[in-house]
Amino acid sequence: MMLFQSHPEIFGLLESPFLTSQLNLRPLVYESFLSLQERASKAGINLQSVSTYRNFEAQKNIWNLKATGQRTLLDSNGVALDFECLESFDIIKAILRWSAFPGLSRHHWGTDLDVIDRHYLDKNPSYNVELIPSEYQEDGPFEELGRFLEHELNGCDFFRPYQDDRGGVAPEAWHLSHVSSVDYFKEYHLQDFIDFLNGPICQDIVFLEEVKESAEFIFKNYFQNISHL
């Protein structure tokens, strides 16, 4: 049986009755986030999320916009690439460096979220959050948050699956994954992904045939290749 048939919530194909209304997170994840917020507040940080649950259609829209040059592609340092100079597989790898293939996003599960320090936006309301590494590094707007997460995630219910550069997804200091995500991660298998790609729901995804040809590489390098707990 295909994975999304037996576990449709993994692919974000449900309406979200399993999510809290406050942040579109699973209830257990929401409670853990409130606890982390409290710890951050004591450190002078207003921890808030800018992205939580994302369904399949939303992820597909992100993919297709980037795959057609309607949204900017970035290199590993967050610098814009020239879309017109890239071959199709270069485009695919550039997208995957920062955005998951629809169906492979951890944001489908209601267990993951991207976080910022709201204090900076309160002081700089016109600032446009980009979610790039420099924002969380020295002299970046979320430098203090970056340091907080580096030292305070140990012993809590969250970890950063993209903490280190393992050659797949670029390091994302802002991406938190709840320990409960491990259960969904274990449910994914390469054959499920291959079967999924051949299903009707994927037919309008740009570069689908190229993704099919490289399914094993994409699955192993951009989904399985994470920093574990």
Pure H helices in the chain: 3-6, 27-42, 56-67, 88-98, 118-123, 143-152, 181-187, 190-197, 208-213, 215-218
Range of the domain at 160: 3-222
Give the separation between CA 203 and CA 75, rounded to whole angstroms. Answer: 27
Residue 49 inside a domain? The answer is yes
DSSP 142: T
Residue 10 inside a domain? The answer is yes
Residue 193 inside a domain? The answer is yes
Q: What pLDDT does 14 receive?
A: 43
Select from 6, 38, 28 the least CA-distant residue to 111. Answer: 28
Residue 181 inside a domain? The answer is yes
Query: Where do we find the tokens 């030292």?
Result: 151
pTM: 0.90
Q: What pLDDT does 228 receive?
A: 82
| SS3 state at 193 | helix
Select from 103, 104, 120, 99 the least CA-distant residue to 51. Answer: 99
Q: What pLDDT does 6 receive?
A: 46
How many domains does the chain divide into? Answer: 1
Select from 145, 225, 224 the least CA-distant residue to 189. Answer: 224
Q: What pLDDT does 20 receive?
A: 62
One digit per residue, the tens of pLDDT, for the chain of length 229 reads: 334 444 555 454 444 445 565 688 888 999 999 999 999 999 999 999 999 988 889 999 999 999 999 999 999 888 899 999 999 999 999 999 999 999 999 998 889 999 999 999 999 999 999 999 999 999 999 999 999 999 999 889 999 999 999 999 999 999 999 999 998 898 889 998 999 999 998 999 999 999 999 999 999 999 999 998 6
Residue 75 inside a domain? The answer is yes
For position 63, which CATH number holds? 3.30.1380.10
Residue 229 inside a domain? The answer is no
Residue 79 inside a domain? The answer is yes
Residue 227 inside a domain? The answer is no
Say if residues 162 and 172 touch (Cβ distance below 8 Å). Answer: yes
Q: Cα angle at 53 between 51 and 57, to 5 degrees?
A: 105
